Amino acid sequence: MAATPETTSPVTVFATSWCPFCTRLLADLRSADAPHEIVDVEAPGNEDASAWVESVNNGNRVVPTVLYSDGTHATNPPAGEVLAKIAELN
């Protein structure tokens, strides 16, 4: 498995600009004023992040993949699940 990326946020969303599921999750997090970081796995310099996403999704680059500050992750989670996890982390 690729090394887990470092993050300073309770939630880091690994996404792409063209993914409708990413767009929806990020919009919901913004609406809830939830703390989060966004990593575009297609942006130059984010190859390690892309490799990590693939490593936790059986070799597939599935987005959104969410990394929580406790080291757990979720693939394509609904916003309610992410918000519940943020509350748990606080």
In the numeric block, the tokens 């059986």 are attached to 58
Helix ranges, 1-90 (H): 20-31, 47-56, 79-89
The answer to whether residue 32 is domain-embedded is yes
Per DSSP, the residues of 57-73 read: TTT---S-EEEETTS-E
Domain extent at residue 57: 17-89
In a domain, 9, yes or no: no
Q: Is residue 70 part of a domain?
A: yes
Q: pLDDT tens-digit profile of 36-89?
A: 999 999 999 999 999 999 999 999 999 999 999 999 999 999 999 999 999 999
Query: Is the whole model's pTM more than 0.85, yes or no?
Result: yes
Is position 11 within any domain? no
CATH number, domain of 39, equals 3.40.30.10
pLDDT grade for 8, boundaries at 50, 70 and 90: confident
DSSP code of residue 34: -
